[in-house]
Amino acid sequence: MSHQSDLRYSARPAARTEIPRPKRGEGQWALGYTEPLNKNEQSKKDDSPLNVRDRILHVYSRRGFDSIDPADLRGRFRWMGLYTQRRPGIDGGKTAVLEEEELDDRYFMLRVRTDGRLLSPATVRALGTIGTDFARDTADVTDRENIQYHWIRIEDVPAIWERLDDNGLSSLEACGDSPRPFLGSPVAGVAADEIIDGTRALEEIHRRFIGHPDFANFPRKFKTALTGHPSHDVAPEVNDIAFVGTVHPELGPGFDLWVGGGLSTNPMLAQRMGVWIPVDEVADAWEGVASVFRDYGYRRLRSRARLKFLVADWGIEKFREVLENEYLGRQLVSCPSPASPVGHRDHIGVHDQKDGRKYVGIAPTAGRVSGTLLVRLAEVMERHGVDGARLTPYQKIVLIGVEPTAVDALLDDLDLIGLSGRPSAWRRNTMACTGIEFCKLAIVDTKNRARDLVAELERRFPGLEVPITVNVNGCPNACARTQVADIGLKGQLVTVDGEQVEGFQVHLGGATGLGANFGRKLRAHKVTSAGLDDYVTAVVTNFLADRDDDESFADWVAR
């Protein structure tokens, strides 16, 4: 193994990269700008957001909603995975004009991170009963592998945390300027075609850094993805940091490092470092990149604080140099970035495991599940001897460890509870963010709109097998990845006959994976929510009539 060490490390001494201090400070700590430059930075400096946990347990949950300090309520609560939800009945036109406190309900959204973990049937049941007991039966699957509840009372938070803790789960740092929930490959350690299993690396990052005070105050959110599957099934292109399975010709399987991806209003695809990192050193690399972000990230303006802006300004070579010289103290091994991803990433349907069993991907509609449905799913899993479930970055669920002889009966039972392993192409490829039902930033409804759209498209295009992804977002923040869908929908008000009504700006032809790129924003393509079914029908009809043989939707748009 000694030649491996030689290849992996250089004797080059750590040296500081020359970074001129800009005339106008961007709030970069490493350049001496440590004084808070906005109210978010001030709040984090006033008190570590991690300290709010004790106040929730011992003060707020006992004294009730009105006892909560506003700086905790609208700031530090996020580090505990808690946001106030939108007060019912406020239409999208008021989102931009009302103050946050006017939009606040007295109930919370609670986000539970799973971080790519395998959830046993007992844990799936526990997640379901949290929904039925405390959350008016809500329990959505998000595209960051979270379970998201609504209608949570502050009084119930300690009991919920206790149940989560009993199952090895938590909501810690599920929101806030923190290491947000990780995306892990839903088929890590089991898929027959896996390059490398990154499970233990993700577990180590979690163990070392979640809840660690040195990594709890980033300039903004910090999103992590890790996969060793050849389909790149964690949308690595749009994460702040991603580890993607690769094979070095001499050293074998390891991970490439990608940094600086993100969507929202200034979308950027992650830049590939072209390195080879062994699984046991992934956590160190994560620590290095997270430290670069913490120390050099821009803290002056929230709108420029994501890592992608720093990576874009520096370029990937300089970013790597700072990472190696100032944080890792060694050079990373160069290795060409992995080839384009192979296959569909959502894992829907029945697939081979390396142990001879099967995994089965199932599709709720646009991530909408419920506490009751999770309990039913747990029953089905137990009845058929399923090992566990993982959530996916596409708002889907993958059942792991299914005996081949149990597959048919399992699929039948899943159909009966409404979680199909053989869904229509529309149900399979549609996602929706939280939207106006609960989100204070939303302008339009998303979940219900997506559900109705799927039902209508199933009726209008029965049996369609061409994958056309539809991502429905309630505002420009792109939580359901507006810019990387075949048909990306960004919620906004549109004017019809002088009236403002709910609608969408359309982006066409975006993609992650093979040919990753952003959809074209066609200014003329603004559609009312009411007209969405007909708009999508017209676009898809044109595509089907005009496409060459196996041409994809994105390629057709790009012609």
What is the binding site for ligand SF4 (CB under 6 A)?
Answer: 433-435, 439, 441-442, 473-475, 477-479
What pairs with residue 275 in β-bridges?
Answer: 334
Question: Which class for 20: exposed (0-12), middle (13-18), buried (19 or more C-beta within 10 A)?
Answer: exposed
Could you tell me which residues come within 8 angstroms of residue 473 by beta carbon, excluding any fewer than 6 positions away?
432, 433, 446, 479, 480, 481, 482, 488, 489, 490, 491
The dihedral sign for the CA sequence 92, 94, 97, 102? negative
Q: In the complex with ligand SF4, which residue's Cβ is closer, 267 or 474? A: 474
Q: In the complex with ligand SF4, which residue's Cβ is closer, 359 or 504? A: 504
Q: In whole angstroms, how close is the CB of 60 to ligand SF4 at the nearest point?
A: 24
| Cβ neighbours, 10 Å, residue 214 | 10
Amino acid at 107: Y
CB 264, CB 478: distance < 8 Å = yes
Q: In whole angstroms, how close is the CB of 441 to ligand SF4 at the nearest point?
A: 4
Q: In whole angstroms, how close is the CB of 473 to ligand SF4 at the nearest point?
A: 4
CB 107, CB 85: distance < 8 Å = yes
Q: In whole angstroms, how close is the CB of 68 to ligand SF4 at the nearest point?
A: 22
Q: In whole angstroms, how close is the CB of 100 to ligand SF4 at the nearest point?
A: 13
Q: In whole angstroms, how close is the CB of 435 to ligand SF4 at the nearest point?
A: 5
Quote the CA–CA distance of 140 and 142 in Å, as a whole number: 6
Q: In the complex with ligand SF4, which residue's Cβ is closer, 357 or 481? A: 481
Q: In the complex with ligand SF4, which residue's Cβ is closer, 53 or 521? A: 521
Q: In the complex with ligand SF4, which residue's Cβ is closer, 126 or 238? A: 238
Q: Could you tell me where the DSSP H helices lie in 366-490?
A: 371-383, 407-417, 425-428, 447-460
Q: In whole angstroms, how close is the CB of 364 to ligand SF4 at the nearest point?
A: 17
Instruction: Output phi, psi for 10, to 5 deg.
Output: -115, 160
Quote the CA–CA distance of 127 and 423 in Å, as a whole number: 24
Q: In the complex with ligand SF4, which residue's Cβ is closer, 221 or 272? A: 221
CA distances to 48, 159, 201, 205, 243 from 291, in Å:
17, 34, 18, 13, 16
Q: In the complex with ligand SF4, which residue's Cβ is closer, 384 or 440? A: 440
By Cβ distance, which residue is nearest to ligand SF4? Answer: 474
Residues in the chain: 559
Q: In the complex with ligand SF4, which residue's Cβ is closer, 347 or 396? A: 396
Q: In whole angstroms, how close is the CB of 221 to ligand SF4 at the nearest point?
A: 12
